[in-house]
Structure 1
Amino acid sequence: MDKIDRLYAKASEYCLSFPGTSERESHGSSAFFIDGKKAFVHFRNNHHGDGNIGIWCAAPPGVQQLLTAGNPDVYYVPAYVGHLGWVGVRLDRADGWEEIAAAIGDAYAARAPKKYLAQLADRV
């Protein structure tokens, strides 16, 4: 298993650990959905030759600007969904799994219905 496969496998496993989540192909790559409807993370490998091994994550208002300004080596504004506030995370440049997991968790929280968010309190 190469680096890209390992990063994808770990991110996929974490995305699917949240209540009501599923994975399917969307726009040419794997994406993770809540109740099969609301996307919260897309996996992207060298999208249109950008060189990034990353995930695109839903984010609350203002978070994209804070992250991309604070650490542009890791965070970027992704194509197509950047104007909606989503943030790209370069998996191969993040400062460890905790940073990636936090981005995925925040993406889930930004899109999940209250019934699932209540279940997250039990995950601590």
Structure 2
Amino acid sequence: MAGSTTKGPGPVPSKDFERIVRKLREVERGSGRDYTSFSVRGKRFGYHWPRTDTVGLKQTIAEQQALVAERPDVFEEQFTSGGFGWVVVQLGGIEADELAELVYEAWRLSAPEDLAAEVPLPQL
């Protein structure tokens, strides 16, 4: 995409995180005092805290543990619930392609099977 800042190494701006989310289907946005939440068909898959330039994403517990162990400067454990592990991602420490994969996985874990099967990993 012309003028995009999502390709290549370096931090991901908040606006590019939002653009990644917009490529997914049936995303519902909610607003809190300091955050925006993202759901698909009523099931939450992510949060964005613009003030801290972080996002929270639903992952498998195994993926949550692997991310935090690999790069604790970028990922931190948020909480576990319902068999899933939520991870906080520092946008300043992740590349766009990796973030897109994590956002897609968070969405896929929350989307109904039929919808998830229809939507491939978004291209940046």
TM-score when scaled to structure 1? 0.77
What is the aligned partner in structure 1 of residue 44 from structure 2? Answer: 39
**Unaligned stretches of 5+ residues in structure 1:** 1-5, 47-51
Amino acid at match of 2:58: A
Where relative contact order (Cα < 8 A, 6+ residues apart) is larger, the structure is 2
Aligned residues of 2:37 and 2:48 also touching (Cα < 8 A): yes
- Two-structure CA RMSD over aligned residues (Å): 2.1
Amino acid at match of 1:107: A
**Unaligned stretches of 5+ residues in structure 2:** 1-11
TM-score when scaled to structure 2? 0.77
Aligned residues of 1:40 and 1:58 also touching (Cα < 8 A): yes
> Which structure: greater strand fraction?
2
How many residue pairs are counted as aligned between the two chains?
109
What is the aligned partner in structure 2 of residue 10 from structure 1? Answer: 16
1:1-124 map, 5 Å: 7-26=13-32, 28-35=34-41, 37-46=42-51, 52-78=52-78, 82-84=79-81, 85-94=85-94, 96-121=95-120
